[in-house]
Structure 1
Amino acid sequence: MLIQQIELFLIEQPLKIPFKTSYGTYEKRESIIVKIIDENGVHGFGEVIAFSEPWYTEETIYSALHVLQDFLIPKLLYKQFNHPSEVALQLNQFKGNQMAKAGLESAYWDLYSKQNSISLAQALGGNKAEIPVGVVISIDEPGKMTKQIGDYLAQGYERFKIKVSRENDYEIVSTIRNSYPTIPLMIDANSDYSIDDIPQLRKLDQFNLMMIEQPFGERQFIEHAILQKEISTPVCLDESICSIEDVQIAHELKACKIITVKPGRVGGLTNSIEIHRYCVEKNIPIWVGGMIETGISRIQNVALASLPGFTIPGDISASSRHWERDIIYPEVALINGKVRVPDGPGIGVEVDEARVRSLSKKIYRHA
């Protein structure tokens, strides 16, 4: 793979429904769409999934733009690579900035798969034709959240993640469990709790939750280990997992029982495969997380979730969950509660470049 041109599209589009978490509410979403073009005109697409504000991680869309243009792209342009893993290795010389790296590296995976006439799922080692998926319900009045779950249940979703905060967790979970006592249910507070809240979290054991995702701060492995000893509900780490080393630390400290893998957060698909391999070896349940992505990143998550170790339905909802119209076609859709894994070359869907350009606030070209 010899890349002769890279384009970055800074896009913005409104969400169908505002998305509220413990740290803020999103009504629109900025993203960076990455397009790479080789010497034969074949192209690959990726996506930078950082948010506009440094709430979820320290990265933002604009810090990613800076790192991409001033450091990562100059390192890759006009360089020969035989496999995307070589790209990941080249980018590892730069510290952090995992989402910027992942957006660029994932475009190489798409291109590599197209050049070899195989699907991205095949290139990654996937073996599933379809995957079960879950959906995320943002913070709202408990009654409204319960109604949303009923709607999504009717659509075929197989796992339900509800956003909560330390101020409303018990009210929300108890209300939902009164209506749906047996559905696969988990909560996510995005680090809203502290170690002093262990008695409060222990009260949630009665609701038979699949897991509590990231209750404490991202570097609080020891505190998570203390919590996991105190509650029967499995702890799942999300923001804490930025690398294979973080997974190893979490496992050795017994800080959690489940891991969420987000390619953008761990630096790309190459690193995601490494984490998958380790978790399978250590019998750690894993699933693919979501970040309110466009269809490009979403369909790449579908391909990743087709690997055999991903046994829990991931945050890979249909395109219509967040967008009136996605930037890929066909869009990601549920069929009998499952999402089909594309089997065409590369990501296996077409990118609507006209729509990408129409949504672009600015376009950057490097050649």
Structure 2
Amino acid sequence: MAEGNRLRGIEVRQVRMPLVSPFRTSFGTQTTKDVILLRAVSDEAEGWGECVAGSDPLYAPEYVGAALLTLRDYFIPAILDQSIVDPALVAPALDLWKGYRMSKGALEMAILDARLRATGQSFGEALGAVHARVPAGVSVGIMNTVDELVETVGGYLDEGYQRIKLKIEPGWDLEPVRRIRDAFGAIQLQVDANAAYTLGDANHLRKLDAFDLLLIEQPLGDEDVLAHAELARRLETPVCLDESITSARAAADAISLGACSIVNIKAGRVGGYLEARRVHDVCVAHGVPVWCGGMVETGLGRSANAALAALPGMTLPGDVSASSRFYTEDLTEPVVIEDGHVAVPTGPGLGVVPDAGRLDAVTVSSEWIPANRRLAS
């Protein structure tokens, strides 16, 4: 890439994607997915980033409305002020501002995609992927009845999904897990509590040990790292952390405290794919398995996740599912499952781009921020 390659501007676009069916967790029920997309345009290429912040501050403090303001008024002007297309400079340039890791990660993703498209390198190559395809896993929300859950899981298994993750919460845990295990035998099965329990529920959660689960994900609050360490000592089921892992340093601390024996890596949650790779490396150094979590991404984020899931330490199936899991029509060419796996894109950058007509059809707002805009005071 020539030294003269500079940013011309960044487009901020909000889209609203209808979901195939409502997706319910302890945080609430989604029927649509609001997504912030960033398009970074340089002299040589353009790159796409996807912000995984939710519509409301439920999973994390960050949410779409606040992320839009922060990106427009602070983060994007700061990056345009540098104007060089270098993803390694994004995190240091934004370190002045606290939090908003999902927004920072989306901006880094767009710059990284633009850089890689200009050099002809794929996301997988840049991150260090060692697999051409990754096993497909699916996350199944809380449903109205256990019978409905059994039917839904059966459908996903018929589609070829290799791992099933069940959302659980108090009142929806032991019986759904028992029914799925009884119905489908020795499938790869895990549960995700999204911080719905307290340490006082330890004796109840111990009853899940009977079902030979791969793991229980984030049973306690995101700041309850010491409580997770105590819970892990009481359970046979491995404890995996999600919301508590916000950086490579947080991962190292949690592992050292014994709060987890498995880590879920979500690039948006830790501030981008470069930090996600560092989390991966820390876990590998400690002998801790990792897997790639999902945040109901479009084909853009889903393709990037496939590349992340192809790293050598990703020894458990992740939330890398087909586009059809959530969307009737994705923004990109649909991500598909073949023989229980999703292919890692090999084209430059993300290897996929949005369809212009589809993108326009779901766009709520769009703003172009040119490189000559100055940083907000």
Letter in 2 for 1:358: A
User: What is the CA–CA distance in structure 2 between the aligned matches of 1:51 and 1:264, rounded to whole Å?
Assistant: 11
Task: Report whether the alignment pairs 1:334 with 2:337.
Answer: yes
- Which of 25, 30, 54 aligns to 1:21? It is 25
- Which of 188, 203, 228 aligns to 2:232? It is 228
Letter in 1 for 2:368: R
Task: Report whether the alignment pairs 1:132 with 2:167.
Answer: no
- Which of 69, 73, 76 aligns to 1:70? It is 73
For residue 218 of structure 1, report the CA deviation from its aligned partner.
Answer: 0.4
Structure 1 runs not aligned, ≥5 long:
none
Native 8 Å contact 1:319 1:332 kept in 2: yes
Query: Could you give the per-residue CA deviations for residues 66-112 of structure 1, whole angstroms, max 9, x where no partner exists?
Result: 11011101111152446312222222232110011011100111111
Q: Following superposition of structure 1 onto structure 2, how do residues 182-197 of structure 1 map, counting pairs within 5 Å?
A: 182-197=186-201
Native 8 Å contact 1:9 1:357 kept in 2: no
> Under a length normalisation based on structure 2, what TM-score does the superposition of the two structures give?
0.95
- Which of 87, 110, 115 aligns to 1:112? It is 115
User: What is the CA–CA distance in structure 2 between the aligned matches of 1:326 and 1:291, rounded to whole Å?
Assistant: 15
Letter in 1 for 2:28: G
Task: Report whether the alignment pairs 1:350 with 2:353.
Answer: yes
Native 8 Å contact 1:165 1:189 kept in 2: yes
For residue 267 of structure 1, report the CA deviation from its aligned partner.
Answer: 0.3
- Which of 44, 47, 64 aligns to 2:50? It is 47
User: What is the CA–CA distance in structure 2 between the aligned matches of 1:351 and 1:88, rounded to whole Å?
Assistant: 26
What is residue 59 of structure 1 aligned with on the other side? 62
What is residue 84 of structure 1 aligned with on the other side? 87
User: What is the CA–CA distance in structure 2 between the aligned matches of 1:164 and 1:7, rounded to whole Å?
Assistant: 38
What is residue 374 of structure 2 aligned with on the other side? none
SS at match of 1:187: strand
> Under a length normalisation based on structure 1, what TM-score does the superposition of the two structures give?
0.97
Q: Following superposition of structure 1 onto structure 2, how do residues 97-246 of structure 1 map, counting pairs within 5 Å?
A: 97-140=100-143, 141-246=145-250
User: What is the CA–CA distance in structure 2 between the aligned matches of 1:350 and 1:221, rounded to whole Å?
Assistant: 39
For residue 39 of structure 1, report the CA deviation from its aligned partner.
Answer: 2.2
SS at match of 1:131: strand
What is residue 251 of structure 2 aligned with on the other side? 247
SS at match of 2:82: coil
Task: Report whether the alignment pairs 1:96 with 2:96.
Answer: no
Structure 2 runs not aligned, ≥5 long:
371-377
Farther-moved stretch of structure 1 (230-239 vs 343-352): 343-352
For residue 353 of structure 1, report the CA deviation from its aligned partner.
Answer: 2.5
For residue 209 of structure 1, report the CA deviation from its aligned partner.
Answer: 0.5
SS at match of 1:157: coil
SS at match of 1:46: strand
Task: Report whether the alignment pairs 1:293 with 2:301.
Answer: no
- Which of 354, 367, 372 aligns to 1:364? It is 367
Aligned pairs, number: 365
> How many percent identity over aligned positions?
39
Q: What is the RMSD computed on CA atoms of the aligned residues?
A: 1.1
Farther-moved stretch of structure 1 (336-345 vs 350-359): 350-359
